[in-house]
Each structure stands twice: as C-alpha cells, then as structure tokens.
A and B are shown apart, each in its own frame.
Chain A
Amino acid sequence: MSLRTKTIEDAHALEGTPVLVGRPDDRALTESLLAPVLEPTRKGFLLLLAALMCGMGFWILSLGTTLFVGIGAWGNNIPVAWAYDITNFVWWIGIGHAGTLISAILLLFQQRWRTSINRFAEAMTLFAVAMAGIYPIIHLGRPWFFWWLIPYPSTNQLWPNFKSALPWDVFAISTYGTVSFLFWYLGLIPDLATLRDAAKDRTRRIVYGIMSFGWRGSARHWQHYRIGYLLLAGLSTPLVVSVHTIVSFDFAISQLPGWHTTIFPPYFVAGAIFSGFAMVITLMIPARRLLGYQHVVTPRHLDNMAKVILATGLMVTYGYVMEHFMAWYSGSGYEAFAFLNRWTGPYAPVWYMQLSCNVLAPQIFWFPWARRNEVVLFVVAILVNVGMWAERFTIIAVSLHRDFLPSSWAMYAPTWVDWGLLLGSIATFGVLFLLFLRFLPAIPVFEVKELRRELEHGGPTSHAEPGAAEVHR
C-alpha cells in the first residue's frame, strides 16, 4: 500500500464518507441525475400517485365541506377556537423551514453537503407552505373574503389592523411563499436549460426551453446569477427566522397561560428546523433509492441531517424545560396550572407522546451507527414528525381547553373533516412532491458539477475532501 492511498484512507476515517461518490464526468452525471425526468413513466410511480390522489380527494372533500357547512363542520368550540387547523398550519410552516435552512443558511456557511439536497428541500418548502397557507384562510369563517386582509383602497374604507398578529401572518407567509418560489426557480433555470438540451423529444425541448427563458450558460450571466443567488440566500436567512417568530407571536402576544411567554420565537424556530429536517429524511430515504441518487446523496448527508435533528431536538427540550421553569418562577397560579395540566390533564397522552417522540427518540443519534442506519433514521424521522405535530396540538388546544374560568372549560374532539384536512393535506403534499420528482430535476445538476470541480481542484476554501478520487488516479 503506497503512502498516498494510506493518507486517503486516513482522511476517510477522519472525514467520514464522501459527499459525492466517484468522480463521474459531466455528461454521465447529467444523464444519471436527469434520468428520473427523461425516462418513461414507471408503473410504481403511477400506482403511488393514484393512491395519493385518493387521499387528495379526501382533502378536497373536507375543504368543500368546510366551505359549504362552515367552521361548524370542525370539532372547534369556545374555548377551543383553535385546534387542528392552526396545529396543522404551524406544523406545515415549520416543516417548510428546513428547506430554506438547507438551501440558504448552509450555503452561506459553505457547507458542501447541502449541494445535492437543496433543490429537494426547497421543493418541500414550497409545497409545505402551500399546504400551510390554506388553514388560516379557511379558518376565517368566510374564506371568500380573505382579500380583506390585504391593504387595498376599497369602498369599505376599512384597513387591516396592523397592531394585530393576523395581518403580520399574512405578510410573513405570503413573503415567505414568494421568496421561496423565486429562490427555487432561480436555482432551477440552468438545470431547465440542461433538460432542454438533454431531452430527445420536441415537446420537452419546447416546454423546458420556455421554462428556462433561453438560458445559454453565458459567463456574463453567471456573474450576476451567482451574486443574485447568494443575495437571495442572504435575504432568506433572516426571513425564515422572522416567519416562525411571527407565527409564534400569534400565541406569545396573547395572555393565555401556556402561550404568553417570551421563549416562543427561538423555541418555535428550533422546532421548525427539527421537524423540517425530519421531513427531509422521511422523503429522502425512499427517494434516493427509488431514483438512483445514492452517489450524490450519501450516508454523509444522512449522518449530518441526523446530527442537526439531535441538536435541534435538544434545543426544543430546553424550550420545554424553560417553559416549566417560568411557569413555576412567575408565581402565577394559572401558569402553573396550565403546565401541571399537561402532565395530569385529560390530554396527558398527547403530552407523553410529544415527550417520547421529541425528547427521547432523537437521543439515539448520539450513536454513529444509528445515524447511518436508514431504518433507524426513517423511523426516528417519522416519530419526530408525529411528535412535533403533538407539540403544536399541546400548545394550542391543550392550553385553550382549560383557561382562566373553570365554568368555560370544555373538551375538544376532532371530526372527520378535521382528520380529512390533516391526512388529506399530507396526501396532497405527496402528490405535489411526486409530480416535482417526475418533471423537474430534484438534484441541482449544475451545482453538483461545480462541487465535483471544486473537490477535484481543491477550491479556494477547501480542505482535504475524501472521495473516490483514488479510483481515477
């Protein structure tokens, strides 16, 4: 064994598995990454799509019922005026945040492992925000007047109340949705041009040609493109923090025990990243196998994502501890009762589910073998998704059902419409995601080529990156 091979092996031991397996040339890389888009449709895809479309039908039925019957079709009551709807809203928005984190914040930190998963995560963001945006609108009661929230000069001569958290939400969510879309689409343009040029049939050439706006890979364009992309990343970073902060203000600026706390903004943002990374893992583990992306989404990516889940899981745990500490330290009997009620009240099972999924389950990621085992990763990711949904339910419905006056206490039970809006939205999200995987490049092709180039030449900021380079040497 030569000294050189030995050094590379040592680097493997130190750095872990590579972010890109092998060093395929640009054409082979393009072909392997675009294969899921350019190959004929698979039967399994159609079956899965049909199954999810059934779930989407359930969702549309539930939405229709809500529109025709009204909010009375839900289990909501007074005092539990916010229940599954707002829980689902916060849950989906939180899931979306990991996409922006991966694509923007990790770009600014020059984390190479983000390159292959960022497009995937951004698409997840878009669809999650689309799902989330539905709930506050249908919860308005008369959703056909939702545009009254937009400040426009109407004959009513009434304006939104900018001192309320609801218009803040409108601006935050619509800005977030728009900026996520722009960032995602800007990243797609060079790859759409690649699709246009790699496609063999006329229809695809025309459609992808129009979608790419006529991109010709010009160096004069790349110069502005790189700076514009970096700036969008820089703008998305504070945006993502602000969006979940504003979502947490919906609760924190009220006076309800369990909501009225200053730790909410950072605690919500950590929870958002926690649940979002869990969703990326949930989607990525099957996708990388089915679509043959194992050479660009390696165990290294999964390992890193598991570490982020562990870290944010600990932050969320800190949030739980602090909430309880403040409930005791504030000396307010109502606060103390609200938190005692979580442990012993009628919804205690949800609280125990939340603790075991969010606090206990991620602890397995202290062990390196667990971070590399796809089954463990997948199961824990699902548990975290469930746990984060339970957390939002605990914060929202469990805080509401026992408020200040015992005479107004009530229980909440979801109806089939509530379940339809939750489960159906998951199926609809799945439909959108499957269509994305079928028609658009889920791995950013040009960025992976750039990454390959950097790994080979050792870019300006590179340290020794292990890889299969020895094969070619």
Chain B
Amino acid sequence: MKAYVLGEFEREEALLEATRELRGRIQGTLDLHSPYPLHGSDEALGLPRSKVPLVALVAGVTGAAGGYLMQWYLSAAAWPLNVGNRPPHSAPAFIPVTFELGILFASLAIFIGLLGGFFGFPRLHHPVFEVEAFRSASIDGLWLSAEVEGKDAEPVAAELRRLGARHVAIVPEAQR
C-alpha cells in the first residue's frame, strides 16, 4: 500500500534543499507544491526536459500539412471549380488557411496534451487534498510531498521534521 507524506516549508531555499537531500535517500516519488512556479525546482527534483514542445511541433506540422492537403484535394481534385479563371491548385491562396490550421492544431495539442496527458487531469481528488492545511499550497504555502511504500512513511515523516517541515502528515492511499 502506498502512502503520501506531506510537509510544509517556510522558505523556498529550505524546501529545495530538503528536496535535494531526500531525493537520493528515499525510495519513492518526490513532488513540490507551490502557488507559483519555483525557480530551481526542476533541477532539485531532477526532472528531464519537457516534451511539450515536441507535441506542439508534431501537431502544428500535422495541422498545416493536413490543411494544405485538404484545400488541394477539395479545390483541385474532388471538385475543381473555375472561379475567376484562377488555377484550381493556387498555392498562394491556400497559405492563410494552412497557417491558421497549423496554429490551431498546435494550440489544441498543447492545451489538451497538458491537461489530459502531462497532468493526468481531470483528477479532482488526490490524496494530498486530504490534509486540510494543504489548502495553503495554492495561496502561500510551500509543500513537499513524497509518495512512498506504507512502511517507509514514518521514517520519511521523521526526516521531513528533521529538515524543518511543519504540518507533517501521512495520508495512506487507501483513504481515497
């Protein structure tokens, strides 16, 4: 059974310091929770580079290529219609829609990809919300959470207290 160990830190530096120290020592997943992005949290958690730009690039190129192909197919292949004696396949006239569809696909991919893929949302309930004091994580609190095996929870909580955390709490996952 998994458990979450939570602790609140007073200062940004103390939080990042504690993260660096715990990361190598405990078995489990560390995470930080803060009302605004913290400088240095990626490095402290040892996160790899984000794949969001790749998702955006692939979707944008797909949207633009698909947009151009659609216009070519509809105007020049499926039903060529003579309008003002312009060529059925007229590349300059296809640029606006191609561009817009590229942007549209990239933006949708970023938004849906972030929420559904990278964040795993919607997830309205999460064990960290069990702790009432955790409400401060979106207001002014700096929290550290560790997802560990149930038997490791107590030692990790003790570590957190030693590193200066307040409101240290253990949430067993079964509680959800």
Contact = CB atoms under 8 A, between A and B. Distances in A.
B140 A161 contact: no
A213 interface: yes
Contacts of A232: 107, 110-111
Contact of B99 (A167, A193, A242): A242
Contact of B97 (A26, A162, A185): A162
A142 interface: no
Interface of A: 25-27, 30, 151, 157-164, 167-168, 171-172, 174-175, 178-179, 182-183, 185-186, 190, 193-194, 196-198, 209-210, 213-228, 231-232, 235-236, 238-239, 242, 246, 249, 445-447, 449-450, 453, 459
Nearest to B72: A162
B56 interface: yes
Nearest to B102: A235
Contacts of B137: 197, 216-217
B110 A228 contact: yes
B123 interface: yes
B52 A231 contact: yes
B125 A246 contact: no
Given A186-B114, A197-B137, A217 B74 contact: no
B135 interface: yes
Contact of B35 (A174, A190, A209): A190
B35 A449 contact: yes
A235 B100 CA distance: 10
Nearest to B136: A197
A221 B41 CA distance: 11
B83 A214 contact: no
Given A190-B138, A216-B33, A219-B34, A224 B119 contact: yes
Contacts of A235: 56, 60, 103, 106-107, 110
Contacts of B93: 162-163
A287 B41 CA distance: 36
* Most chain A Cβ neighbours within 10 Å, of B56, B139, B143: B139
Contacts of B140: 25-27, 30
Given A227-B53, A446-B36, A216 B121 contact: no
A244 to B, nearest CB: 12
A30 B74 CA distance: 53
Contacts of B114: 186, 224-225, 228
A205 B93 CA distance: 50
Nearest to A167: B97
A216 B124 CA distance: 10
